Every structure is written in structure tokens, then in C-alpha cells.
Amino acid sequence: MSEPAEPSAGPPAIEVKDVVREYDNGLVQALRGVSFTIEQGEYAAIIGPSGSGKSTLLHLIGALDHPTRGEVRILGENLREVRSLDQLRAKTLGFVFQLHHLIPNLPLWENVTLPALPLGLSRRERRKRAVDLLGRVGLDHRVDFLPVKCSGGERQRAAVARALINDPQILLADEPTGSVDTETGQQILSLFEDFAREKNRTRILITHNRQIAAEAARVLRIVDGKLVEDTRNDAGEKASEPS
């Protein structure tokens, strides 16, 4: 279960201000004036029906897209003013998606190290980091295997390791359990939580599963591109407190 964020003297992890995202010359509005702030170390779940704008919002937070209007700030930096978004993503953000997006002709360890390429690390250092992380997610016996030789759960655990290769401050997950069975999904969420707690990382998780969302300290609900609910999840917070 989640714990409340520890107080931080730094800027918020994420600031979304009056964000609008339009497509097809304004004919489609995926997001309509969304605003919220996530503090450092906070765990927030974003819920809502399919097509509500959740993934669009995560792509904006993750510097994979720009809003049509409005502003997104990561640790105080306006993404429109960042010179190298590749460097920001590499140093600050870790992604886990519903589909693992592993490259089929690369062994697991090389897949895991792909986000580290912009950092200019040597191949030896990248492999060292990957082997360590794969061991921590229970895949030390699959380091040199191609994704096709691994189960769906193993591929998704490798995707978790890939998200953590650069020790990011902010972890973003878009339905990370949607393509695996319930037991494997819980293992993935537990790994995600363990890594986040180690250094008080910020977590944003998109999910359709209200039981999963109930474990977050904060729940934001998006409907038709609008933020219609932003609540503190007292049950989730209390459940995580030491007895």
C-alpha cells in the first residue's frame, strides 16, 4: 500500500496548468483545461473510462508530447523551455507501459539499457546496471535471452527494470498490469512500489482497476478530457502505516 509523500523543500514533481490538447485542427479535444500539482514522493493514480484522455495526459507529463495550450512543469522546469527533452526523460523520468515495447532482436539486458544511451555510459557500465536490475526483478537467469524466449510476465518485469535504469525521480506507468494475469500484475505493482519507496520517488499510475487505484494516496479521475475528481485516498494511506 502507498504511504503519504514526505515533505519536500524542492519544487513540485509535476505541475499541470490549464492544459488543453487538441487534434485535427481543434476538432478533437483530448484534454480540456486540466490542472493539478503532484508533490515529490507522492503516489497518484489516474482513473477514467477508455478514451477519456488519461494516456494523452501521461504523454504530456512524460515529455512525449506538448499541450496545445497550457503548461506542464517537471521539478519546476517548463517543458516548453527545456533544451533537450531526451536528456530530461533520461535523467528524470521512467516509463512502464501496458505493452512492454521490448525490441525483439535485442537480449533483455540491452533492452533494459536503452534509456541510458543518451547518458553516454560505456557498454560495460550499462550491462552492469542492467544485470543488477534484472536480478532484482527476478530475471538474473534471463539476462541474455531474447524477449521471445521469455513469458509475458517476464517481459513486463524487464520493462520495469528498464524504467529504473537511470534511477529516475518520477515513475510513470500506463496500465502496467493490463496485459498480464492478476498474480503477475500484483508482483509488478509490488516491484514498482518497492523501488519507489527506496528513494521517495514520485509515482503516477494509470489504471482501470479501482482496487489498484485504492492503494494510491491520491486518485485523479478524468472524464471526457476533464479532471472531475481529485481526492486523497485515506484508506490507502492508513493501510500502509506501520501497525
Q: Does a structural domain hold residue 1?
A: no
What pLDDT, in 10s, does the model give residues 104-125? 999 999 999 998 888 888 999 9
In a domain, 117, yes or no: yes
Which of the four pLDDT bands, split at 50, 70 and 90, describes residue 6? low
Residue 126 forms part of a structural domain: yes
Q: Is 159 contained in some domain?
A: yes
- Whether the CB-CB separation of 3 and 217 falls below 8 Å is answered with yes
Instruction: Report the number of distinct structural domains present in the chain.
Output: 1
pLDDT of residue 43: 94
Instruction: Tell me the CATH number at 41.
Output: 3.40.50.300
Would you say residue 142 lies in a domain? Answer: yes
- Overall average pLDDT of the 69-89 stretch: 90
pLDDT at residue 3 is higher than 70: no
* Residue 92 located in a structural domain: yes
- pLDDT tier, 74 (very low <50, low <70, confident <90, very high otherwise): very high
Query: Do the bridges between strand 93-97 and strand 170-174 make them parallel or antiparallel, or are there none, so unpaired?
Result: parallel
What's the predicted TM-score (pTM) here? 0.84
Measure the CA–CA gap between 57 and 65, rounded to whole angstroms. Answer: 9
9 within some domain: no
- pLDDT at residue 98 in the model: 73
Residue 123 in domain: yes
Confidence of residue 234 (pLDDT cuts 50, 70, 90): low
The residue range of the domain holding 32 is 14-240
Query: In whole angstroms, what is the distance from residue 183 CA to residue 232 CA?
Result: 27
